[in-house]
């Protein structure tokens, strides 16, 4: 984090031909109010020192005994008065008499951020909306696991009113399922919900996933000084309180027009267009770092009542973290096929005890992550575009040295290791495929599909795009907004041709519903 911030400050000074102090003030003024205290901690930066030197001098980066010295930028040239990084560190420390800013490593120590941090800790721990007054697991607040993640509650003081339930007495007097359809048609006295939604195969969509499903994204304009302005950081509070995830634009549960590039297309939006009665019936139960193992805890935040609620289509998609970790001996820390079988079957048994009868589960295979290195390693990262000095290969090596790589097995120049990681991913996908073939459950049928990376890349190529544009530019690891939208199209076409029963029938009353309830259709 320090290296990133210092890099941006030094590049701002270069781009605007200003002092480092002026650049730091510029950056701090870009950042919304209470977050400015973080950047103001970096008060002793010398433009002649690269970010690695500064951050080691501030003791925000350190070298543990027996471990390599991690650096993003090439070490200073070995000249007579500055022989390498080690001496540059000592020189910087003496020059500025810099003290250790250990408190910086815990931003929650700052009084202005302490309350917000406590909220975020609660949300991360429980994966439930922080603001949920009636305790039905739905909220009227967007972030902190609110309606960006689950359909928006229409009455947060009534536990019997929430998205996805079957209508209470056909919603004659109130909108119990929050789909905007309620009341009685004065022409014939028939409740609108009964007239338009009875027998319409209404169903929700639930994602059980990881950071790809939650749609992890760090805006590149946060670190691209040639594009940077106050507008660049306007979305920082929202991003921070959504864990740097953007589920409202995601492949499975996206419902808002994308503000991070590309466009939004999602399984939820397509199900809603197919049947307007499905409005707001979505749940994105994903987390950064989600795997088949920790999903067993995460799944308990599912909001579905077998007796009162509509069936659901559940997408189980932990596409990488069972083979991805930041350990040096990465292969030893990957999920084994036996562990995968146990984890997934346990999750499915839990779903069988919670999902209403007539639900569907789709198991998604793991991605072949060799695509990442093949298409990014020699390109410049946003931090390296100004001076052409940081490639993705350098970024991956830096993260791997710090042992915080999102995937040591794929983000590596070691081709053998990349191949072995993909081999394990294929083995785990085959486990999922066999589960879909052999296992039977009382309340849902089960299907398998490969992660549609190849088809997505082919479609993007036909549209004139480049493969690297399908990958998040800052982290160089997650699917981009374009990849998410195109992936939806591929998944939908497969379902239409191979499992039409999963999607339900098209509601012939969609136009009438929109005409009557157009003012109540907001998300």
**Which of the residues are catalytic?**
211
Q: How far apart are CA 176 and CA 162, in angstroms?
A: 6
What are the phi and psi torsion angles at 362 (to 5°)? -115, 120
Whether 210 contacts 291, CB under 8 Å? yes
* Integer CA distances (angstroms), 260 to 18, 119, 249, in order: 30, 25, 9
d(CA 120, CA 28): 23
CA separation for the pair 147, 134 (Å, rounded): 15
3-state secondary structure of 13: helix
Secondary structure tally for the chain: helices H, strands E:
19, 7
Residue of 29, 26, 30 whose CA lies nearest to 10:
26
Which letter, b or e, does each residue of 189-198 get, where b requires 16 or more Cβ atoms within 10 Å of its Cβ?
eebbbbbbbe
Q: What tokens does 203 get?
A: 């169903």
Q: Are the beta carbons of 294 and 338 closer than 8 angstroms?
A: no
Residue 436 neighbours by CB under 8 Å, 6+ apart: 363, 446, 447, 448
Q: Which of 228, 399, 408, 263 is nearest to 331 (CA)?
A: 408
Q: Which two tokens stand for residue 92?
A: 């910087």
Retrieve residue 297's tokens. Answer: 């805890």
Cβ atoms < 10 Å from Cβ of 39: 18
> Are 455 and 223 contacting, i.e. CB atoms less than 8 angstroms apart?
no
Residue 223 DSSP class: S
Alpha carbon distance 517, 302 (integer Å):
29
Question: Does residue 75 come out as left (phi exceeding 0), alpha (psi in the -120 to 50 range) or beta?
Answer: beta
Neighbours of 389 (CB within 10 A): 16
Q: Tell me which residue of 85, 15, 21, 22 sits closest to 54, measured CA to CA.
A: 85
């Amino acid at each position: 984090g320090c290296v990133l911030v210092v890099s941006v400050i030094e590049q701002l000074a270069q781009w605007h031909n200003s002092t480092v102090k002026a650049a730091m003030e510029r950056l701090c003024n870009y950042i919304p109010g209470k977050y400015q205290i973080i950047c103001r901690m970096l008060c002793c930066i010398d433009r002649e020192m690269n970010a690695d030197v500064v951050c080691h001098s501030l003791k925000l980066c350190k070298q543990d005994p027996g471990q390599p010295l991690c650096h993003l930028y090439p070490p200073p040239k070995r000249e007579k008065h500055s022989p390498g990084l080690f001496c540059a560190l000592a020189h910087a420390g003496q020059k500025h008499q810099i003290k250790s800013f250990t408190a910086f490593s815990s931003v929650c120590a700052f009084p202005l951020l302490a309350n917000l941090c406590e909220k975020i800790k609660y949300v991360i721990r429980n994966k439930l909306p922080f603001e949920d007054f009636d305790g039905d697991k739905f909220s009227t607040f967007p972030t902190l696991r609110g309606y960006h993640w689950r359909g928006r509650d229409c009455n947060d003081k009534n536990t019997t009113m929430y998205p996805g339930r079957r209508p209470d007495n056909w919603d004659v007097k109130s909108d119990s399922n929050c789909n905007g359809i309620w009341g009685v048609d004065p022409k014939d006295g028939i409740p609108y919900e009964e007239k338009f939604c009875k027998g319409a195969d209404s169903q929700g969509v639930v994602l059980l996933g990881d950071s790809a499903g939650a749609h992890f994204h760090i805006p590149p304009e946060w670190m691209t000084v040639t594009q940077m302005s106050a507008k660049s950081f306007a979305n920082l509070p929202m991003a921070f309180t959504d864990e740097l995830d953007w589920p409202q634009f995601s492949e499975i549960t996206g419902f808002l027009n994308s503000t991070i590039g590309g466009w939004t297309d999602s399984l939820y939006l397509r199900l809603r267009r197919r049947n307007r009665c499905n409005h707001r019936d979505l749940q994105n139960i994903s987390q950064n770092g989600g795997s088949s193992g920790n999903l067993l805890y995460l799944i308990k935040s599912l909001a579905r009542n077998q007796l009162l609620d509509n069936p659901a289509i559940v997408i189980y998609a932990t596409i990488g973290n069972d083979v991805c970790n930041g350990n040096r001996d990465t292969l030893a820390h990957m999920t084994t096929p036996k562990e995968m079988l146990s984890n997934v079957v346990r999750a499915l048994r839990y779903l069988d005890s919670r999902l209403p009868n007539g639900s569907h589960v789709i198991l998604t295979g793991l991605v072949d992550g060799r695509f990442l290195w093949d298409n990014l390693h020699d390109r410049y990262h946003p931090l390296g575009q100004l001076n052409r000095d940081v490639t993705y290969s350098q970024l991956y090596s830096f993260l791997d040295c710090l042992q915080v790589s999102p995937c040591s097995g794929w983000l590596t120049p070691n081709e053998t290791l990349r191949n072995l990681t993909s081999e394990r991913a294929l083995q785990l996908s085959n486990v999922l495929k066999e589960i879909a073939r052999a296992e039977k459950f009382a309340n849902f049928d089960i299907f398998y599909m490969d992660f549609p990376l190849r088809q997505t890349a082919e479609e993007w190529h036909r549209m004139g795009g480049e493969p690297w544009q399908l990958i998040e530019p800052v982290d160089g690891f997650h699917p981009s907004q374009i990849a998410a939208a195109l992936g939806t199209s591929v998944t939908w076409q497969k379902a239409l041709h191979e499992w039409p029963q999963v999607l339900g029938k098209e509601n012939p009353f969609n136009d009438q519903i929109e005409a009557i309830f157009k003012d109540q259709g907001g998300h």
